[in-house]
Structure 1
Amino acid sequence: MENTRVCVTGGSSYLGSSLIKRLLEKGYTVHATLRNLGDPFKVGLLKGLPTLGADNRLKLFEADIYNPDEFETAIQGCNYIFHLATPLQHEPKDTQFKDTSEAAVSGIKSIVRSCIKSGTIKRLIYTASVVAASPIKDSGSGFKQFMDESCWTPLNLSFAFANKVLIDYTHSKSLSEKELLKHTSGDLEVVSIACGLVGGDTLLTTMPESMGMLISQITKDSRRYQTLRFLEELLGKVPIVHIEDVCEAHILCMEKPSINGRFLCVSAYLSSAEIASHWEKNYPSLKIAEEFVEDSGRDIGWGSTKLKKIGFEYKFDAKVILDDTLKWAQKMGEFASSQNTVVPK
């Protein structure tokens, strides 16, 4: 591991920072990219990781997905790359790309070229999203029986609770993942890991959006709850996963001798009503307003087994994911003072 160099794009993100910490703990040397090396918070987050040897095994590079050729320097000399960086909203001043989809797809193409040019990269692992894996039928009339790796989101349909940002993000992640998987037959091995809504804990000092969505019913956060419901309408139910399982799944897909293809990374598949039921059952002091509980009553199952077939085992179930998210939210002051001492029943 000491002789293995790994590149992580989008290093200061929720997942990026946690993945880098785990890689350093395992002894890898890490090249991490940030959009701006002049940002003291993001640089300090990574340079301050409490990991033995991080000072000389972590090197930071500046690179922006809107200027994808900038990633080439960070990729040079590495053996593997985790591509997490993704445009969340379109840069209005950008004239090179018309939207986030064009920027994301261009980023994939450029990074693939840089990986091949490097002569050292064995495998490109892309952090995809379950928003690209909707089990809805192409006609839009109902859902398939199961959600698995064969599912792709139809991009010509409209969905309840959608807004421009969510639709743009869905298109961006769908098109960029499809672009990546075009290269599975080449010399470069490529893997996409489509992650569910991530919860658990965080190295960040502000609440990650995905964690905020998981607790939106008890924080009465209407905007985040609407996004949670969008996921439910898009995917049938809400796929969730613990941050530690996500990191371990990424690392397993790197450490395998040879691997290609698409994998969904989700340990529980719940309706938003089932999430609300968890809070009401285990935290009776938390009152959920009626407008934050809607039961779709859908009968749809989880059918993905590809990660398990290559030897991955999820360590965290739905209860732990939700409880850890709530615990961390309390530490970060996401609740009123009267709720700061909330404990399970």
Structure 2
Amino acid sequence: MSTVLVTGGSGFVGIHVVLQLLAAGHTVRTTVRRPERRDEVLTMLREGGVASPHSLSFFTADLTADQGWREAVAGCDYVLHVASPLSTRVPDHEDEMIIPARDGTLRVLRAARDAGVKRVVITSSLGAIGYGHPPRDAPFDETDWTNLGGADVQPYIKSKTLAERAAWDFVAREGDGLELSVVNPAGIFGPVLGPDFSGSIEIVKSLLDGAMPAVPRVYFGVVDVRDVADLHLRAMTAPEARGERFIAVSGETMSILDIARLLRRELGPRARRVPRLLAPDWVVRLAATRVPLLQAVVPMLGKVRRSTSAKARAELGWKARSNEEAILSTAESLIRLGLVKA
């Protein structure tokens, strides 16, 4: 088995990647920004069914600083770079997200190259593929890149695009034989193991909490976090994955209203606060002038971006759970952990 570093093991995707690596018998390392987050990771691993992770070790490293990365990657066969800055608000300046994402990715790649790591797998996003384009019926695939001049390109989307571009450029110019693969997930849902989760999960939590009386007309692709983790492991070792990108999406896009209806239908009384109504676009735009969280929603209103994971399925044998299972497992875990209103 291999020695694998997972950056950002305390995050929603990172913890599931760690779980699957441990289950496969690998020796796993993970980085945390602060040493005290080690206990949070161990708590989430117990929730995920791993009581005593003897083959897991921790390193303190931050994407914004050089310290700790050389030690973290020393002796590793592979690095899965999952950590990335993520915010549910629009930052005051886009560089608050862009610089840590891009420069942090380059830090990890330099350390991996210098340590003789075989391959790095980076968690990018569908946001690096399907934004800034005019409406189209054809699904986006791995040959597409986000057009950074588009009106719907928010700072997070821009940060993921620029970080991935920088990674490919680095490997081509300075990689010295370092291999790179990239996973581009759609909206990531699935079982939550603790209070640290992604913006996609926040959508389900807000619906269950009744935080909005009506939902905006927003659509996105869906994928289960367990399947995202599985694709990372496949991309880590498969010869076919060298130098390739892989979209991770389960199927057709869903709207937030679709999710709300699914929750009400399947959860019964536990979904009593979930809204039934669709908010008119003009109401969302007006509300966004007073609610900063909604500012990132406005450019997405009514836009449907279809994408395909045919490449991952055909070349890596990847399979994905249904949209419905991904959404419902999110809701069930939030309820079980007491993370929604009683």
TM range (shorter): 0.7 to 0.9
Structure 2 Cα separation of the partners of residues 210 and 223 of structure 1: 19
- Please give the per-residue CA displacement for 1:298-333, whole angstroms capped at 9, x wherever unaligned: 676433411012133324101111221121122123
Q: Which of the numbers 36, 39, 52 marks the counterpart of 1:38? A: 36
Structure 2 Cα separation of the partners of residues 274 and 172 of structure 1: 28
Q: Which moved more, 1:268-277 or 1:283-292?
A: 283-292
**2:128 is matched with which residue?**
132
Query: What SS does the corresponding residue of 2:312 show, helix, strand or coil?
Result: helix
Q: Which moved more, 1:144-153 or 1:298-307?
A: 298-307
Structure 2 Cα separation of the partners of residues 33 and 225 of structure 1: 37
Structure 1 Cα separation of the partners of residues 38 and 108 of structure 2: 26
Q: Where in structure 2 are the equivalents of 1:224-239 lying within 5 Å?
A: 232=218, 237-239=219-221
Q: Which of the numbers 200, 223, 238 marks the counterpart of 1:256? A: 238
Q: Specify whether residues 47 and 276 from structure 1 end up closer, same or farther in structure 2 by C-alpha distance, changes over 3 A only.
A: closer
Query: What SS does the corresponding residue of 1:87 show, helix, strand or coil?
Result: coil
Structure 1 Cα separation of the partners of residues 210 and 268 of structure 2: 16
Q: Which of the numbers 134, 142, 146 marks the counterpart of 1:149? A: 142
Q: Specify whether residues 301 and 205 from structure 1 end up closer, same or farther in structure 2 by C-alpha distance, changes over 3 A only.
A: closer
**2:322 is matched with which residue?**
317
**1:182 is matched with which residue?**
169
Residue 324 of structure 2 is aligned to residue 328 of structure 1: no
Q: Which of the numbers 190, 194, 207 marks the counterpart of 2:184? A: 194
TM-score between the two structures when normalised by the length of structure 2: 0.79
Q: Which moved more, 1:244-253 or 1:146-155?
A: 146-155
Residue 104 of structure 2 is aligned to residue 114 of structure 1: no
Q: Specify whether residues 43 and 289 from structure 1 end up closer, same or farther in structure 2 by C-alpha distance, changes over 3 A only.
A: closer
Q: Specify whether residues 50 and 303 from structure 1 end up closer, same or farther in structure 2 by C-alpha distance, changes over 3 A only.
A: closer
Contact 1:135–1:151, Cα closer than 8 Å, also in 2? no
Structure 2 Cα separation of the partners of residues 39 and 223 of structure 1: 35
Q: CA deviation at 1:208?
A: 4.4
Structure 2 Cα separation of the partners of residues 215 and 46 of structure 1: 18
**1:343 is matched with which residue?**
none
Structure 1 Cα separation of the partners of residues 198 and 101 of structure 2: 21
Structure 2 Cα separation of the partners of residues 157 and 298 of structure 1: 13
Residue identity matched to 2:110: R
Query: What SS does the corresponding residue of 2:260 show, helix, strand or coil?
Result: helix
Q: Specify whether residues 284 and 88 from structure 1 end up closer, same or farther in structure 2 by C-alpha distance, changes over 3 A only.
A: closer
**1:266 is matched with which residue?**
249
Give the count of matched residue pairs: 309
Residue identity matched to 2:248: C
Q: Specify whether residues 293 and 306 from structure 1 end up closer, same or farther in structure 2 by C-alpha distance, changes over 3 A only.
A: farther
Q: Where in structure 2 are the equivalents of 1:1-345 lying within 5 Å?
A: 1=1, 4-39=2-37, 41-42=39-40, 44-45=42-43, 50-51=49-50, 54-55=53-54, 57-88=55-86, 99-119=96-116, 121-134=117-130, 136-137=132-133, 141-143=134-136, 145-159=138-152, 167-183=154-170, 185=172, 186=175, 187-205=177-195, 208-222=198-212, 232=218, 237-258=219-240, 259-268=242-251, 269-283=253-267, 285=269, 286=272, 288-291=275-278, 301-337=306-342
- Please give the per-residue CA displacement for 1:41-74, whole angstroms capped at 9, x wherever unaligned: 435436757537622x111000000104531210
- Please give the per-residue CA displacement for 1:79-120, whole angstroms capped at 9, x wherever unaligned: 00000111235xxxxxxx95321222112222222111112x
Q: Specify whether residues 53 and 282 from structure 1 end up closer, same or farther in structure 2 by C-alpha distance, changes over 3 A only.
A: closer
Structure 1 Cα separation of the partners of residues 278 and 257 of structure 2: 11
Structure 2 Cα separation of the partners of residues 314 and 113 of structure 1: 32
Contact 2:140–2:307, Cα closer than 8 Å, also in 1? yes
- Please give the per-residue CA displacement for 1:142-184, whole angstroms capped at 9, x wherever unaligned: 335222222322222323xx8xxxx222211110011112245
Q: Specify whether residues 8 and 211 from structure 1 end up closer, same or farther in structure 2 by C-alpha distance, changes over 3 A only.
A: same
**Unmatched runs of 5 consecutive residues or more in structure 2:** 88-93, 282-299
TM-score between the two structures when normalised by the length of structure 1: 0.78
Residue identity matched to 1:38: E
Q: Which moved more, 1:74-83 or 1:19-28?
A: 19-28
Q: Which moved more, 1:110-119 or 1:145-154?
A: 145-154
Q: Specify whether residues 114 and 298 from structure 1 end up closer, same or farther in structure 2 by C-alpha distance, changes over 3 A only.
A: closer
Contact 1:136–1:143, Cα closer than 8 Å, also in 2? no
Query: What SS does the corresponding residue of 1:316 show, helix, strand or coil?
Result: coil
Structure 2 Cα separation of the partners of residues 39 and 171 of structure 1: 28
How many percent identity over aligned positions?
A: 24
Q: Specify whether residues 28 and 276 from structure 1 end up closer, same or farther in structure 2 by C-alpha distance, changes over 3 A only.
A: same
Q: Specify whether residues 300 and 98 from structure 1 end up closer, same or farther in structure 2 by C-alpha distance, changes over 3 A only.
A: closer
